[in-house]
Amino acid sequence: MAMLRKRRLGRTGLMTTELGLGAMDTPTSDQGAATLEAAIDAGIGFVDTARDYAGSEHLIGEVIRRRGSAPFLIASKTFSRTASGAQYAIDDSLRVLGVRYIDVYQLHDVSTPEAWAEVMGPDGALEGLKTAQYRGLIGHIGVSTHNLELARELILSGEFATIMLEYSAFYPESAPLLELAAEHDVGVIVMRPLGGSGRTSVMRRRMEEGTAGALTPANLLRYVLSNPAVSVAIPGARFPSRIEANVAAASNYEPMDDAERRELEELAARLY
């Protein structure tokens, strides 16, 4: 079996497989546990979850308990904007996951100036994460955002070891922010690398019909992993077959050149 390549997760110094798993929707399938087990067996070494992903931490905790330990890096997130709320969230994550330590804990969806001011203010969530870090409960502090203008501020603040951004052939606008993060040694976690479940459903239907052309999940993953500023891409998966397809694509790709990237972006723009 081909081995997944590894990349450095910014200044965390952690080495992660460049293919991870976004576990938001994994528990919504009756094959959720099998999907996570398939990811582990395939060597995926990074799993992203959140307090507010219904059933996600619980499912991961069940698998960890069966395995006896977590054979992957764990990243979780909280929507809490206060120091006390963030600390409670971390305590809950640790209990549900069944671990004593979480590798990366992120402030979830800091996408408005108001949210940014709140988490950074006195008794804000960032203060709570720093306290948990001091207590040895979490390793590194990260942030996720859907606001590219604010992403620049988050990167330049120096407060975050990782940032989660959307990036794909459907959403290439974030590429300059990925480069900025890399310049400042901030690890980049890419969400929605395949464009989201609605688009992947359309693409898979076209693949069955023989009309997909170059716009396939495998090429979309290749597009993202061709960017050296990316630390880890976290496509979601609800079935073991999706894990197998993603691992096959990530294990055997050649980086795209500029012409291939532009072609895929054009095809993606025309999908819908």
Residue with tokens 């606008």: 173
Residues 162-221 pLDDT 10s = 999 999 999 999 999 999 999 999 999 999 999 987 898 899 899 899 988 999 999 999
Q: Residues for the chain: how many in total?
A: 272
Query: Distance (Å, rounded) from C-alpha 232 to C-alpha 164?
Result: 10
Q: State the average pLDDT over residues 214-229.
A: 96
What pLDDT is attached to residue 197? 73
Query: Distance (Å, rounded) from C-alpha 269 to C-alpha 272?
Result: 7
Contact 78, 115 (CB under 8 A): no
Residues 62-82 pLDDT 10s = 999 999 999 999 999 999 999
pLDDT category at 1 given cuts 50, 70, 90 is low
Query: Distance (Å, rounded) from C-alpha 84 to C-alpha 87?
Result: 5
DSSP state of 28: G
Residue 180: which H helix or E strand, with range?
A: helix 175-183
Residue 74 pairs with which residues in a beta bridge?
47
- CA 270 centroid distance within chain: 26
